[in-house]
Chain A
Protein backbone atom coordinates (compact mmCIF):
# COMPACT_ATOMS: atom_id res chain seq x y z
CA UNK A 1 0.00 0.00 0.00
CA UNK A 2 1.55 3.32 -1.03
CA UNK A 3 1.45 6.61 0.87
CA UNK A 4 -1.39 8.01 -1.27
CA UNK A 5 -3.54 4.94 -0.55
CA UNK A 6 -2.88 5.32 3.18
CA UNK A 7 -3.64 9.05 3.00
CA UNK A 8 -6.92 8.46 1.15
CA UNK A 9 -8.06 5.83 3.64
CA UNK A 10 -7.17 8.07 6.57
CA UNK A 11 -9.26 10.89 5.10
CA UNK A 12 -12.22 8.53 4.71
CA UNK A 13 -11.86 7.43 8.34
CA UNK A 14 -11.63 11.03 9.59
CA UNK A 15 -14.60 12.25 7.54
CA UNK A 16 -17.43 11.50 10.01
CA UNK A 17 -15.50 13.15 12.87
CA UNK A 18 -14.70 16.44 11.10
CA UNK A 19 -16.51 19.42 12.64
CA UNK A 20 -14.92 22.20 10.56
CA UNK A 21 -16.68 21.96 7.21
CA UNK A 22 -14.47 24.67 5.68
CA UNK A 23 -11.41 22.49 6.23
CA UNK A 24 -12.93 19.30 4.87
CA UNK A 25 -11.83 19.85 1.26
CA UNK A 26 -8.41 21.30 2.11
CA UNK A 27 -6.85 18.45 4.02
CA UNK A 28 -3.11 17.99 3.55
CA UNK A 29 -0.39 16.12 5.42
CA UNK A 30 0.09 19.19 7.62
CA UNK A 31 -3.56 19.39 8.67
CA UNK A 32 -3.97 19.22 12.46
CA UNK A 33 -6.78 16.91 13.53
CA UNK A 34 -7.94 18.93 16.53
CA UNK A 35 -6.95 22.49 15.62
CA UNK A 36 -7.81 22.46 11.89
CA UNK A 37 -10.50 19.81 11.56
CA UNK A 38 -11.97 20.53 15.03
CA UNK A 39 -12.26 16.82 15.76
CA UNK A 40 -13.37 16.20 19.35
CA UNK A 41 -10.35 14.87 21.25
CA UNK A 42 -12.64 12.37 22.99
CA UNK A 43 -13.16 10.71 19.60
CA UNK A 44 -9.47 10.09 18.88
CA UNK A 45 -9.77 6.61 20.28
CA UNK A 46 -12.58 5.90 17.80
CA UNK A 47 -10.31 7.02 14.99
CA UNK A 48 -7.45 4.83 16.21
CA UNK A 49 -9.78 1.84 16.41
CA UNK A 50 -10.83 2.51 12.82
CA UNK A 51 -7.17 2.67 11.79
CA UNK A 52 -6.62 -0.72 13.43
CA UNK A 53 -9.59 -2.28 11.65
CA UNK A 54 -9.06 -0.77 8.22
CA UNK A 55 -5.28 -1.32 8.08
CA UNK A 56 -5.30 -4.54 10.14
CA UNK A 57 -2.68 -3.23 12.57
CA UNK A 58 -2.26 -2.87 16.35
CA UNK A 59 -1.61 0.59 17.76
CA UNK A 60 -0.34 1.00 21.31
CA UNK A 61 -2.28 3.36 23.56
CA UNK A 62 0.80 5.52 24.12
CA UNK A 63 1.09 6.05 20.34
CA UNK A 64 -2.32 7.70 20.23
CA UNK A 65 -0.92 10.92 21.67
CA UNK A 66 1.61 11.07 18.85
CA UNK A 67 -1.12 11.52 16.25
CA UNK A 68 -1.64 15.26 15.98
CA UNK A 69 -1.55 15.75 12.20
CA UNK A 70 -2.53 13.72 9.16
CA UNK A 71 1.17 13.22 8.50
CA UNK A 72 1.63 11.76 12.01
CA UNK A 73 -1.16 9.30 11.23
CA UNK A 74 0.36 8.36 7.86
CA UNK A 75 3.78 7.82 9.45
CA UNK A 76 2.36 5.75 12.30
CA UNK A 77 0.43 3.53 9.93
CA UNK A 78 3.40 3.20 7.58
CA UNK A 79 5.57 2.10 10.50
CA UNK A 80 3.00 -0.48 11.60
CA UNK A 81 2.63 -1.79 8.05
CA UNK A 82 6.39 -1.95 7.69
CA UNK A 83 6.11 0.20 4.58
Chain B
Protein backbone atom coordinates (compact mmCIF):
# COMPACT_ATOMS: atom_id res chain seq x y z
CA UNK B 1 0.00 0.00 0.00
CA UNK B 2 1.12 3.56 -0.68
CA UNK B 3 1.47 6.25 1.97
CA UNK B 4 -1.77 7.78 0.73
CA UNK B 5 -3.61 4.46 0.92
CA UNK B 6 -2.35 3.85 4.46
CA UNK B 7 -3.43 7.35 5.49
CA UNK B 8 -6.90 6.69 4.09
CA UNK B 9 -7.08 3.32 5.87
CA UNK B 10 -6.34 4.67 9.35
CA UNK B 11 -9.63 4.16 11.20
CA UNK B 12 -9.36 7.03 13.66
CA UNK B 13 -11.40 10.03 12.53
CA UNK B 14 -12.27 13.51 13.79
CA UNK B 15 -12.31 14.53 16.56
CA UNK B 16 -9.82 11.81 17.44
CA UNK B 17 -7.58 11.84 14.39
CA UNK B 18 -4.04 13.06 14.97
CA UNK B 19 -2.26 12.37 11.71
CA UNK B 20 -2.24 14.70 8.70
CA UNK B 21 0.53 13.45 6.45
CA UNK B 22 2.82 10.46 6.14
CA UNK B 23 6.19 11.66 4.90
CA UNK B 24 8.10 8.37 4.94
CA UNK B 25 6.94 4.79 5.27
CA UNK B 26 8.61 1.45 4.72
CA UNK B 27 8.84 -1.87 6.53
CA UNK B 28 11.26 -0.47 9.11
CA UNK B 29 10.12 3.07 9.84
CA UNK B 30 7.52 5.80 9.52
CA UNK B 31 7.59 9.59 9.68
CA UNK B 32 4.31 11.50 9.98
CA UNK B 33 3.09 14.97 10.90
CA UNK B 34 0.12 16.47 12.67
CA UNK B 35 -0.84 20.08 13.41
CA UNK B 36 -2.92 20.52 16.56
CA UNK B 37 -6.02 22.55 15.75
CA UNK B 38 -6.41 25.63 17.92
CA UNK B 39 -10.13 24.90 18.36
CA UNK B 40 -9.65 21.33 19.67
CA UNK B 41 -12.11 20.82 22.52
CA UNK B 42 -9.55 19.51 25.02
CA UNK B 43 -7.79 22.89 25.15
CA UNK B 44 -10.83 24.37 26.93
CA UNK B 45 -9.96 22.34 29.99
CA UNK B 46 -6.23 21.72 29.60
CA UNK B 47 -5.83 24.44 30.77
CA UNK B 48 -8.46 27.19 30.83
CA UNK B 49 -5.95 30.00 31.10
CA UNK B 50 -3.05 28.33 29.27
CA UNK B 51 -3.88 25.74 26.61
CA UNK B 52 -1.28 22.95 26.34
CA UNK B 53 -1.71 19.70 24.42
CA UNK B 54 -2.35 16.89 26.94
CA UNK B 55 0.31 14.19 27.23
CA UNK B 56 -2.22 11.47 26.46
CA UNK B 57 -2.99 13.20 23.17
CA UNK B 58 0.73 13.36 22.37
CA UNK B 59 1.00 9.62 23.01
CA UNK B 60 -2.07 8.97 20.84
CA UNK B 61 -0.52 11.10 18.10
CA UNK B 62 2.65 9.03 18.18
CA UNK B 63 0.59 5.83 18.25
CA UNK B 64 -1.49 6.75 15.19
CA UNK B 65 1.70 7.17 13.18
CA UNK B 66 4.01 4.63 14.79
CA UNK B 67 1.61 1.83 15.68
CA UNK B 68 -1.42 2.27 13.41
CA UNK B 69 0.11 3.53 10.16
CA UNK B 70 3.22 1.33 10.29
CA UNK B 71 1.16 -1.55 11.67
CA UNK B 72 -1.35 -1.34 8.82
CA UNK B 73 1.51 -1.25 6.34
CA UNK B 74 3.10 -4.39 7.80
CA UNK B 75 -0.20 -6.23 8.19
CA UNK B 76 -1.09 -5.51 4.58
CA UNK B 77 2.31 -6.72 3.35
CA UNK B 78 1.72 -9.94 5.25
CA UNK B 79 -1.88 -10.44 4.13
CA UNK B 80 -3.27 -7.99 1.55
CA UNK B 81 -6.82 -9.29 2.02
CA UNK B 82 -6.97 -9.17 5.81
CA UNK B 83 -9.74 -7.08 7.35
CA UNK B 84 -7.65 -6.02 10.28
CA UNK B 85 -6.26 -3.01 12.06
CA UNK B 86 -3.67 -2.38 14.73
CA UNK B 87 -4.78 -1.49 18.23
CA UNK B 88 -2.47 0.36 20.57
CA UNK B 89 -1.57 -1.92 23.51
CA UNK B 90 1.43 -0.56 25.37
CA UNK B 91 3.45 2.62 25.85
CA UNK B 92 6.47 3.67 27.88
CA UNK B 93 6.97 7.34 27.14
CA UNK B 94 8.91 10.21 28.69
CA UNK B 95 8.04 13.85 28.06
CA UNK B 96 10.65 16.50 27.42
CA UNK B 97 8.64 19.48 26.21
CA UNK B 98 5.19 20.97 25.69
CA UNK B 99 3.14 21.50 22.53
CA UNK B 100 1.03 24.62 22.13
CA UNK B 101 -2.14 24.88 20.02
CA UNK B 102 -1.43 25.33 16.31
CA UNK B 103 1.93 23.56 16.43
CA UNK B 104 2.82 20.98 13.80
CA UNK B 105 4.74 18.05 15.26
CA UNK B 106 6.66 15.28 13.53
CA UNK B 107 6.62 11.72 14.79
CA UNK B 108 9.43 9.39 13.72
CA UNK B 109 9.36 5.73 14.60
CA UNK B 110 11.57 2.72 13.96
CA UNK B 111 10.41 -0.86 14.15
CA UNK B 112 11.87 -2.83 17.06
CA UNK B 113 10.08 -6.03 16.13
CA UNK B 114 7.02 -7.26 14.28
CA UNK B 115 5.97 -10.77 15.16
CA UNK B 116 2.63 -12.55 15.17
CA UNK B 117 0.91 -9.29 14.23
CA UNK B 118 2.45 -7.52 17.20
CA UNK B 119 4.46 -4.42 16.45
CA UNK B 120 6.84 -2.63 18.80
CA UNK B 121 8.42 0.65 17.83
CA UNK B 122 10.85 3.15 19.22
CA UNK B 123 9.27 6.55 18.60
CA UNK B 124 9.89 10.21 19.17
CA UNK B 125 8.02 13.44 18.55
CA UNK B 126 9.73 16.70 17.69
CA UNK B 127 8.74 20.35 17.23
CA UNK B 128 9.40 22.20 13.93
CA UNK B 129 12.77 23.44 15.25
CA UNK B 130 13.81 19.91 16.14
CA UNK B 131 13.28 20.09 19.90
CA UNK B 132 12.24 16.80 21.46
CA UNK B 133 8.69 16.66 22.83
CA UNK B 134 8.52 13.03 23.91
CA UNK B 135 10.05 9.65 23.18
CA UNK B 136 9.59 6.04 24.12
CA UNK B 137 8.43 2.62 23.05
CA UNK B 138 4.92 1.78 21.89
CA UNK B 139 3.27 -1.45 20.86
CA UNK B 140 0.18 -2.57 19.07
CA UNK B 141 -1.46 -5.79 17.99
CA UNK B 142 -3.40 -6.59 14.86
CA UNK B 143 -7.09 -7.31 15.52
CA UNK B 144 -9.97 -8.09 13.16
CA UNK B 145 -12.16 -5.16 12.19
Which A residues are closer than 8 A to B by beta carbons?
Answer: 40-45, 48-49, 61, 64-65
Assess whether B141 is interfacial by the CB under 8 Å rule: yes
Q: Mark B96-124, 1 if CB is under 8 A from A, else 0.
A: 00000000000000000101101010000
Which B residues are closer than 8 A to A by beta carbons?
Answer: 89-90, 113, 115-116, 118, 120, 139, 141
Does B113 lie within 8 Å of A45, measured CB to CB? yes
Does B118 lie within 8 Å of A45, measured CB to CB? yes
Does B90 lie within 8 Å of A43, measured CB to CB? yes
Q: Which residue of B lies closest to A62 (CB)?
A: B116
Question: Mind listing 18 A-B residue pairs with CB under 8 Å?
Answer: A40-B89, A41-B141, A42-B89, A42-B90, A42-B118, A42-B139, A43-B90, A44-B116, A44-B118, A45-B113, A45-B115, A45-B116, A45-B118, A48-B115, A49-B115, A61-B116, A64-B116, A65-B116
